[in-house]
Amino acid sequence: MFIQEKDPNWKVKVGLAEMLKGGVIMDIINAEQAQIAQEAGACAVMALEKVPADIRKEGGVARMADPAVIEQIQKTVSIPVMAKCRIGHFAEAQVLEALEVDYIDESEVLTPADEKNHIDKTKFKVPFVCGCRNLGEALRRIGEGAALIRTKGEAGTGNIVEAVRHMRQIMGEMKKLTVLSEDELMQEAKNLGAPYELVVEVAKTGKLPVPNFAAGGIATPADASLMMQLGAEANFVGSGIFKSANPSKRAKAIVIATTHYQDAKLIAEVSKELGDPMPGLDIASIPEEHLLQIR
Amino acid sequence: MKKRIGVLALQGDYLLHQQTLEKIKQNGILVRTKEELKSCDALIIPGGESTTIRKLALENGLFDAIKNFGKEKPLMGTCAGLILLAKEVSDSKAEETLALLDIAVKRTAYGRQIHSFVQVGKVNLQNGNPNFEMVFIRAPKIVNVGKTVERIGFCDDEVVVVRDRNLLGLSFHPELTADTRIHQYFVNQFLN
């Protein structure tokens, strides 16, 4: 793959994403929440200043987390610590790399710093994860050096509908590529707005060249199972845990449901008496300019 | 009859181990419960997060089942799997392990992800070329080795592969490369 030639660290970048498979990465805003997440069985934590539900409520500019908080989190837990930077804000990414976070999420949840360009992620030693709504977006991000892809969903809503839409979209578009003949792939690359080399590769393998996780709206154990059954290889959970009535119990239940996603009996068991989930939002009630996924 | 090699599938890169087994014409079985473990002749504990895998294994009784299984049956652990096999984990946040393999390990000993690396090391696989491409991801270091434990792989001066009776432990990820020789070695030396 052409990215491999551009990025000497490609193998270890994708390697860490492979290690996260089958797990749950939890949004946290301080060391105390990080500890709860690790205790519940999270395979990594994602540090940010506010969870998406609060960003949505409070408005204003959302930026990367305070480095002091990130350091406290790193001292507190042994699992990988990820952190979010704004889209296109390569200086925030440089700061996060200097802090030695394990993964950087160039995230639509924060306020974009560049409306046109994403970060050239091949310039970094630390790997990046990026969100997407469709295959073209996924392959553009991989073309820029993202070593892990997640659905965007609609963060901070507790509503799974957008993550489902995005996962089905990507899976469907990949399936379609596998039945096209070789001479149709250039036109399809143009339609998708994706690098031709990556389109050819997906057409051959039927899957993304990097792991493909779900994010944006997961709030219950059944949501986690749904995304795994639709083809996600792991789950990011944002506001769904720490905006619910009993974060610790719900976090643990979502971890179990992600591992045993085909065992409905067990998921029924762990879904009992979790307390109130985070309050949900109907996507139709959100004005279009407030949607995070279009960033 | 073809042997059934379980791959612990609670969290981590278990599918890559299964694919590597497929490449060498072996039967890789994903194991998520103790019932699934029962039907296996051997088990691989993959890379992933040792803390997470441990918690999930404790949750449904798989932890003790693996502990018993590993007293006799062939068991291979890579990275997180090595940590879980180790008798001793030498850091302040250490948790109880399966304590099967008489070694001490230090977790994330090379540093965080930015210090992950690929290097060619040497493994004594009994025959042929000892060079092996080793992928270290937030890897542990083997800091102490018990009397009965054989050191069979090295990267620079570090011990990175050890074996003791039915147990094989590696601090890197052979499943992340196309090289199937370590899995083949496990099958040849431990299962037959």
Specify whether the CB–CB gap between B89 and B108 falls below 8 A.
no
Per-residue burial over B30-43, b if 16 or more Cβ lie within 10 Å, else e, is ebbbbebbeebbbb
Alpha carbons A112 and A208: distance in angstroms, whole number = 25
β-sheet bridge partners, residue A132: A151
Nearest CA in chain A to B140: A78
Three-state secondary-structure class, residue A46:
strand
Domain map (residue ranges) of chain B: 4-190
Report helix, strand and coil shares of chain A as percent, to nearest 5. 50, 10, 40
Mean pLDDT of A33-46: 98
Residue B92: pLDDT band (50, 70, 90) is low
> What pLDDT is stored for residue B166 in this prediction?
97
- Between CA A253 and CA A220 the distance in angstroms is 8
- pLDDT reading at B35 higher than 80: yes
Taking phi over 0 as left and psi of -120 to 50 as alpha, with beta for the rest, B136 belongs to: beta
Tell me the nearest-neighbour CA distance from B33 into chain A, angstroms.
Answer: 9
Name the closest residue on chain B to residue A211, using Cα atoms. Answer: B13
Active site residue B49: no
pLDDT at B81: 97
Contacts of A141 (CB under 8 A, 6+ apart): A118, A130, A132, A149
Whole-Å CA distances, A34 to A73, A251, B73: 6, 11, 37
**d(Cα A277, Cα A158) in Å, to the nearest integer?**
8
- What residues in A contact B8, CB-CB < 8 Å? none
Contact in structure between A196 and A183 (CB atoms under 8 Å): no
CA distance B63 to chain A (A): 15
Q: How confident is the model at residue A2 (pLDDT cuts 50, 70, 90)?
A: confident
Which residues of chain A have a CB within 8 Å of the CB of B84? none
What is the least distance, in Å, from the CA of B135 to any CA of chain A? 7
Mean pLDDT, rounded, of chain A: 96
DSSP per-residue letters across A237-255: E-HHHHTSS-HHHHHHHHH
Pairwise CA distance, residues A103 & B31, whole Å = 29
pLDDT of residue B157: 92
Cβ proximity of A227 and A267 under 8 Å? no
Evaluate whether ipTM surpasses 0.85. yes
- % of chain B at pLDDT higher than 70: 98
What's residue B127's pLDDT?
81
- Give the per-residue pLDDT at A237: 96
- What CA–CA distance (Å, rounded) separates A74 from B42? 36
Sheet holding B86-89, edge to edge: B86-89, B101-106, B141-145
d(CA B74, CA B54): 19
What is the nearest CA distance from A32 to chain B, expressed in angstroms? 15
The percentage of chain A sitting over the pLDDT mark of 90, rounded to a whole number, equals 88
Name which CATH class applies to B4-190: alpha beta
pLDDT, average across residues A13-25:
98
Catalytic annotation, pick one of A13, A84, A121, A252: A84
SS3 A213: strand
State pLDDT tens for residues A141-177: 999 999 999 999 999 999 999 999 999 999 999 999 9
* Residues from chain B contacting residue A21 (CB–CB below 8 Å): 11-15, 48
Res. B36: pLDDT tops 80: yes
Cβ–Cβ gap A78/B55 under 8 Å: no
- Give bridge partners of residue A81 from the DSSP assignment: A45
Reported as type and span, the H/E element at residue A235 is strand A235-237
Could you report the per-residue pLDDT of B41-81, keeping only the tens digit for each? 999 999 999 999 999 999 999 999 999 999 999 999 999 99
Chain B residues with a Cβ under 8 Å from any Cβ in chain A:
9-16, 32, 47-49, 51-52, 55-56, 59, 79-80, 91, 93, 107-108, 111-114, 116-118, 135-138, 173, 176
Report which of B159, B166, B160 is spatially closest to residue B189, judged by C-alpha positions: B166
Q: Do B112 and A42 lie within an 8 Å CB cutoff?
A: no
pLDDT per position as a tens digit, B128-170: 899 999 999 999 999 999 999 999 999 999 999 999 999 999 9
**HEC readout, chain B:** CCCEEEEECCCCCHHHHHHHHHHCCCEEEEECCHHHHHCCCEEEECCCCHHHHHHHHHHCCHHHHHHHHCCCCCEEEECHHHHHHEEEECCCCCCCCCCCEEEEEECCCCCCHHHCEEEEEEECCCCCCCEEEEEECCCCEEEEECCCCEEEEEECCEEEEEEECCEEEECCCHHHCCCCHHHHHHHHHHHC
CB B80 within 8 A of CB B173: no
Query: Residue A1: which pLDDT band, with cuts at 50, 70 and 90?
Result: low
Reply yes or no on whether A57 is catalytic: no
Q: Which of A12, A18, A101 sits opposite B13 (nearest CB)?
A: A18
CA-CA distance, A13 to A127, in Å (whole number)?
5
Question: How far is it, in rounded angstroms, from Cα B86 to Cα B142?
Answer: 9
Tens digit of each residue's pLDDT (9 = 90 or more) over B114-133: 999 999 999 999 888 999 99
Instruction: Decide if pLDDT at A47 tops 70.
Output: yes
